[in-house]
Amino acid sequence: MTHWDKKQTLEGLLKLKVNSYRAAFERPSAGWTSWSGTEHTVGFQTMDEGGALSLRLAYGQKNALTGETANLDYTVRVTATPCYYGNVRYWFHCPGCDRRCGVLYQKGTHFACRSCHKLTYAARQENRRGDFYPMLKEVQSIRLFEAVQKEVSTPFYAGKPTRKYRKLVRLYTRVQHYSQAMQQNAQKMGWI
């Protein structure tokens, strides 16, 4: 991997969230998971074998080159950790590295964690050092500022600023910051 190659982002990939199966872990059951906007469905079955939870996944994966469908059937180990406020939090164990995670992503044929698939978030690949980044952020901040400004009907309640008004003040400060950075870049480039 050369320095200009970027990792694939996880946005747009199919994902299994452990919280979606919480009720199924508490009472072993079976069902289907589907994603809106796609024709992908995954059959699942939760199993509790002597206190060891697992999620069995069964689905068909079509090969893009040959057009053949391969039927996949494998289990993902699940563990539970106690929470301070009571109850438990469930975790998947990645089938690739056995790392504990809350979300599994499908890249290729199998579901695995972010690190096994070498995935990253799109925000981590933004260029924040470019000359046009402050301009982009200023436009985004101005749009957000205008949206929040419409929401603020009461700036103060009982003598204290409301939460929306405080958010509006923070956004105003951010817009001022990006505006100054944009002016400095424009002077540096000789536009002003």
pLDDT in tens, 60-102: 877 777 878 888 888 999 999 999 988 899 999 999 999 999 9
Rounded to 5 degrees, φ, ψ at 127 are: -90, 110
Asked if the model's pLDDT at residue 125 lies above 80, the reply is no
Asked if the model's pLDDT at residue 1 lies above 60, the reply is no
CA distances from 73 to 82, 101, 102, 190 (A): 30, 20, 20, 62
Asked if the model's pLDDT at residue 104 lies above 90, the reply is yes
Which pLDDT belongs to residue 38?
A: 72
Would you call 181 exposed, middle or buried from its count of C-beta atoms within 10 A (0-12, 13-18, 19+)? middle
Q: Specify the higher pLDDT residue, 157 or 182.
A: 157
pTM over 0.85: no
